[in-house]
Structure 1
Amino acid sequence: NRTRRRFLPNLNDVTLQSEILGRGIKLKICAAALRTVDHRGGLDQFFAKSKDSELSDSALKVKKEIAKAQAAA
């Protein structure tokens, strides 16, 4: 009997540091997203360049916090 193969994302629990907020943020992201964060130059730049439709609800909250902190600084 052959079973159907499942292709699941490579999810990791990571804590990424935000330079603007000055604290770590816990996220559950895939390995490809982690490489994208590194490529864009950190968490703050990643959220600045990402579209709202691509982010989860918790990531949108963090993005708004970062935008508010940038506007205040």
Structure 2
Amino acid sequence: MARECELSGIKPIVGHKVSHSNVKTKRRFLPNLVNVTLRSEALGQAYSMRIAAKTLRTVDKHGGLDGYLAKAKDEQLSPKALKIKRDIAKQAEEAAA
């Protein structure tokens, strides 16, 4: 399982651990990934995802999964999230017609 957020695309980054004597050693900063179940109001369905805790706060800020996906860029979404975004758009299109 990849250490990548399914919604925001956050991945591990590389930096240095710096000792008291200022010796730099390579290290990895891993994202704080949590398993959550998010509900889509438009589709009336729940989806299980592995997302960063930081992203979960942003999802709450945008009013749920539907609001977050509406503003998210397609490049940063996983294939699963991209399919959900397309399904929501299709549902909204059918409701408008």
Superposition TM-score, scaled by structure 1 size: 0.89
Q: Secondary structure at the match of 2:29?
A: coil
> Does the alignment pair 1:26 with 2:44?
no
Residue of structure 2 in register with 1:71 after alignment: 93
Number of residue pairs matched?
72
Query: Which structure: larger Rg?
Result: 2
Could you tell me which runs of 5 or more consecutive residues in structure 2 were left unpaired when the two chains were aligned: 1-24
| Greater than 4 Å deviation, 4+ residue runs | none
Residue of structure 2 in register with 1:16 after alignment: 38
Could you tell me which runs of 5 or more consecutive residues in structure 1 were left unpaired when the two chains were aligned: none
Distance (Å, rounded) in 2 between the aligned partners of 1:12 and 1:41: 19
For the aligned residues, what is the CA RMSD?
Answer: 1.5
Superposition TM-score, scaled by structure 2 size: 0.68
